[in-house]
Amino acid sequence: MSVKGDDIFMRLFVFFDLPVTKKEQRKIAAKFRKNLLNEGFVMLQFSVYCRCCRGQDIVEREIRRIKQILPEEGNVRILQITDKQYGGMLFLAGTPKKEEILSSEQLLLF
């Protein structure tokens, strides 16, 4: 049985390094983080956010949305991996956040 692209769960990571030395820059960075949360991303670390997407179409939609909210300054990167690859992530120190665990468990409902 072949798997269609729409049936594959992907994880979309957004990594960013935004300037925050001035008040206006901090405001822009906070707005960018808030927009990511509104798009369904979960904060893994302060400048690392992740979202589960069902299929390549959703990944591409999210990338388009992120491009629309990009700040003018700083660096923003996106990495796409399969949910299976995400499951192989090692925690060397600390534990996963509750939101990460809930996000993974929600996949089981599909």
Average pLDDT over residues 75-93: 90
Burial of 45 (0-12, 13-18, 19+ CB in 10 A): exposed
The per-residue b/e assignment along 16-43, b for 16 or more CB within 10 angstroms, e otherwise, is bebeeeeeebeebbeebbebbeebebbe
When the pLDDT of each residue in the chain is averaged and rounded to a whole number, the result is 86
> Which region among 6-10, 59-63, 76-80, 94-98 has the lowest average model confidence (pLDDT)?
94-98
Predicted model pTM: 0.80
Q: Which domains does the chain have, with CATH numbers?
A: 5-84+92-107 (3.30.70.240)
For residues 30-49, average pLDDT: 95
